[in-house]
Structure 1
Amino acid sequence: MTEIIKANVNDDRILTEITKTSKAYWGYSDKQMDEWSDLLTITSEYIQKNQVYKLIVNQSSIAYYSYFETENNSVRLDNLFVSPKNIGIGYGKLLMNDFILKIKQSERSRIILDADPNAQKFYESFGFTKFGQIETSIIDRFLPIMELKLD
């Protein structure tokens, strides 16, 4: 059975594990992963404060996304991670479709996100376009800032 449900505050550890192992999947060094540890930690407070939805497959949490509302009738997709053994199966696409549908139903007009460079093509496949970039702590590495207009 597969379902997407709202995460609860007790999901902090599993969502952190999914985040960190998924990020490491893309070949970042152990040193870099250590530097990002706090940024990649999902706390109970974070879950309480933001909209966080997890994907359950066969009674196990394997992926999630999170977002929050911003100014100008926009929503920011803050996280979308799939556990490494489930990457490439279509779960990311399932989560994105669920997320976009939720936002369309909320009558928000725009989704923004900062993409990992490895995920830019994934987001482009949903119609997101790059409109800027942010320099990161890794020399010559930039995060694309992307948007999807929901007119």
Structure 2
Amino acid sequence: MIIQKASITDHEVLTEITKKSKAYWGYSVEQILEWDKNLTISKDYIRDQNVFKLVNDNLIIGYYSYVFKEEKVIELDNLFIFPEYIGNGLGKYLLLDFLNRIKETNIEKIILDSEPNAEGFYSKMGFVKIGEFETSIKNRFMPIMEMKVIG
């Protein structure tokens, strides 16, 4: 298994991973369609952002992406794996690669908006919930999480 920079030709499979991974949490087909714009990974997004794919036997099975925000802040924008690979430590593998990749920067804080069902994963990995916001689904709240980076 290797993690490498995604190319713009990966946009369709990354979108498929995102939508299938989101659906894994029990959201309806209608809900996934409603979120289509937010769950689509475009060629432009891959070109303009930091997107890294997890490849196993020449198949892309997951990815993560991050965006530089303020001067010393990065947002972990996406971290998704095909559902059949969830629970095998690959989310941790991707997250540790991300943390290692930014280690040599001047970043002091990582922020993310967590899928509510993934909050426990991020907490175990050292993120702390600092807030939340209501989503398009009534009474569903998206945790806002952060991790301080020690240089």
Same fold, TM-score > 0.5, yes or no: yes
How do 1:53-68 residues align onto structure 2 when only pairs under 5 Å count?
53-68=52-67
Match of 2:110 in 1: 111
Match of 2:98 in 1: 99
Match of 2:128 in 1: 129
Query: How far does residue 107 in structure 1 lie from its aligned partner after superposition?
Result: 2.5
CA offset digits 1:40-94 (Å, max 9, x no partner): 0000000011000000011100000000101140000000000011111111010
What letter matches 2:48 in structure 1?
K
Match of 2:29 in 1: 30
State how far apart, in whole Å, the 2-side matches of 1:18 and 1:25 are.
10
SS in 2 for 1:138: coil
SS in 1 for 2:103: helix
State how far apart, in whole Å, the 2-side matches of 1:80 and 1:136 are.
19
State how far apart, in whole Å, the 1-side matches of 2:101 and 2:130 are.
23
Match of 1:138 in 2: 137
Match of 2:46 in 1: 47
State how far apart, in whole Å, the 1-side matches of 2:69 and 2:46 are.
17
Query: How far does residue 103 in structure 1 lie from its aligned partner after superposition?
Result: 1.5
SS in 2 for 1:105: coil
SS in 1 for 2:39: coil
What letter matches 2:60 in structure 1?
S
Query: How far does residue 119 in structure 1 lie from its aligned partner after superposition?
Result: 0.4
State how far apart, in whole Å, the 1-side matches of 2:127 and 2:82 are.
23
What letter matches 1:89 in structure 2?
N
Match of 1:87 in 2: 86
SS in 2 for 1:139: coil
Aligned positions, number: 150
State how far apart, in whole Å, the 2-side matches of 1:12 and 1:142 are.
28
CA offset digits 1:116-139 (Å, max 9, x no partner): 000000001111000011110000
Match of 1:20 in 2: 19
What letter matches 2:43 in structure 1?
S
Identity of aligned residues (%): 50
State how far apart, in whole Å, the 1-side matches of 2:137 and 2:71 are.
31
Query: What runs of 5+ residues in structure 1 fail to find an aligned partner?
Result: none
Query: How does the TM-score come out when normalised to structure 2?
Result: 0.97
State how far apart, in whole Å, the 2-side matches of 1:86 and 1:79 are.
16
State how far apart, in whole Å, the 2-side matches of 1:5 and 1:106 are.
19
